[in-house]
Each structure stands twice: as C-alpha cells, then as structure tokens.
Chains A and B, each alone.
Chain A
Amino acid sequence: MKLKQLEALLGNLQQFSNPKVELEQYPTGPHIASRMLFTAENSFGDVSGKVVADFGCGCGTLGLASALLDAQHVIGVDVDPESLEIASENAEDLEVDIDLLQCDIKNLGWTGQIVDTVVMNPPFGTRRKGADMDFLFVALQVASQAVYSLHKTTTREHIKRSALRDFGACSAEVICELRYDLPQLYKFHKKKEVDIAVDLWRFVPRTN
C-alpha cells in the first residue's frame, strides 16, 4: 500500500466524540499516523506478519494502520470503553480485524515479550505527570522487536535517559521531528490551534 493511500484511509476514521481531558485524548492525525507506520514497515520491517499492540489506542488509528499494512495480529488497548467502541466501528468500516481490550496499561499483566511491536501515541504526561513513562515502561517490557512512540520534543533528554537507563532499552532513537497540530478540543485551550513539536521515537527493547 502506498503512503498516500494509507493516509487517505486513516483520514476517514471517526475520532473522539467526547474527548476526555483526564486521559489526554487527542486524535492521532492521518499525516503522522501514516508516516509512523509506513516508516516502521518500510525502513525496519516491524509490521507486516507481526504481532502489533497499540497502547492507548483511542479510536484505533495506529492499530488500524498496522492492520492495513498486513500485521498478522493487532491488539488495541485502552482504558476508555467509549473510544474502544469507536475503534471497533472503525475496524468494521475498514474491514480489518483487530482485537480490543479495555484495560489500564499499568494493569495489563502480560508476561514476557509476547508481542513483536508496540505502536503508541501515549498521553504526554501534561495532565498526569509520568503517564507517558508508564506507557513506555510497559511497552518495553512486552515488545521483542521495537516500540514506536510519540513524545514531546521538550522531553527528549528525559525520554532517552529513562528508556536506556531505567527501562533497559538497547537503543532509543528519534526518527524524525514532527509538528503535531492540536485542534482546540478542550475549554482550557485558549488558542484556536497550536502546533507542538513532537518526536517520533523508535526504541529497541533489551534482548532476552
């Protein structure tokens, strides 16, 4: 599948109807999502034929993109049942299969490196400090091959240090810096739309 096709398909997905600020629910736009998965597949071979988990999947964008790029098995995990319902409808619209689990990432309880690849757009930890780190910690525990994640560029050093030193990653690299355009979703947003600088990371978990 071409990048343009992937982006177009993702552009048609339903997004949050009532975004919940405490969960930092922001949609992953089709531009970012398509590039993230396209790179994971075409530069690293981390998607096609693999078991892929999408953590904090929300409406399922990244997991569905994985399924469109021929992941063998996709699991979306989110704590919010309303989002999962939308993700399920999105999967039906695209005619792809993904399994959806309602679960807090911290309680996931998977043992060993049971999936190949984790893709995620986690909460950035601006509402609840450390939320992004919880996601990264668990992702690096359960993935055997790679973790793709988005984090604010301002936290780059912190992310790198935590991944390598505390979470045992073998490597942590910023693949590219992106502009994440946040629409005015919540009442506390004063500007109509803001661009924030976001890093697309690729982490390689420790080898067992």
Chain B
Amino acid sequence: MRLLTHNMQACNIKGVTNGFPFRVEAEEVMEKQVDFNADFLRNLFPKIEWKALVEASRAMGYHELPDEADSSLLDSDDFLQKFHRALPQLHLEEGAFVCPETGRKFPTALIKCI
C-alpha cells in the first residue's frame, strides 16, 4: 500500500463522518526504487492533502517532508526528490490503517487491502 492511496481513501464505515485521514500503524516498510518523474509530482501536488501525507510518512519512519508545503516548492529539486521518496517509493508492506474516528483497524498484511 502506497501513500497516494492512503491520501485518497477515507474510512467508509457506516456513520463515520470524519474518516480521513487513516492513521498508519507500520510494522514493515519498504522503499522501492521508482523512476523519478518530476512532471508527475508537479501535477499531483495540488490534489494531495499535504498534512495527511506528512503524518503518514512519519508514521512509516520517513521524516524528510516539511510540515507545510506550497506550490513554490515545486521548483526545488531537493523538495521534489523528498516528495518522490515518500509518494511513489514508500510501501507499507505490513501494518494497518486505523480509522481516526472509531479506531477500527484495517490490516494491510492479510490481503493488502482495507
């Protein structure tokens, strides 16, 4: 499970109104090499909930993303490299997504789905 998916998905249990973002409990994290694609990141950036990305990446042991980010940073290669490492490269191999409202856990280990 990668962080882009985490960034899109809210908990959809019946009755939950504040199901976004999932808290991440990480047991095993892997970083997989993906070709760097600056245009992809620039296009995606405005659609990303930055705070949710930062918190999830930190829960997975990656602390390089700044608390706040705006589109002016997209000219910085250093920023794009850090964004790249978090977004397409970090994989939650084992662990869980936890609903922020009910605390219900969705393990990724079993079938890699929530």
Contacts and interface: CB of A to CB of B under 8 A. Distances in A.
Contacts of A110: 8-9
B2 A97 contact: yes
Contacts of A104: 12
Given A49-B40, A51-B44, A107-B12, A73 B111 contact: no
Contact of B111 (A75, A97, A100, A108): A100
B109 to A, nearest CB: 11
Contact of B2 (A85, A99, A108, A115): A99
Which secondary structure dominates chain B's binding surface? Answer: loop
Interface string A88-117: 100000000101111110011110111100
Interface residues of B, number: 22
Contacts of A113: 47
Q: State the majority secondary structure of interface residues on A.
A: mixed
A75 B5 contact: yes
Contact of B88 (A73, A102, A112): A73
Contact of B47 (A75, A102, A112): A112
Interface residues of A, number: 24
A84 B112 CA distance: 8
Given A72-B37, A99-B112, A100-B112, A109 B47 contact: no
A88 B2 contact: no
A183 interface: no
B8 A114 contact: yes
A81 interface: yes
A103 B11 CA distance: 10
B80 interface: no
25 contacts: A49-B37, A49-B39, A51-B44, A73-B2, A75-B5, A75-B8, A81-B111, A84-B111, A84-B112, A85-B111, A97-B91, A99-B1, A101-B5, A101-B113, A101-B114, A102-B111, A104-B12, A107-B12, A108-B12, A109-B12, A110-B8, A112-B47, A113-B47, A114-B8, A114-B47
Interface of B: 1-2, 4-5, 8-10, 12, 19, 32, 34, 37, 39-40, 44, 47, 88, 91, 111-114
Given A84-B111, A99-B1, A109-B12, 4 more contacts: A97-B2, A101-B113, A109-B19, A114-B8
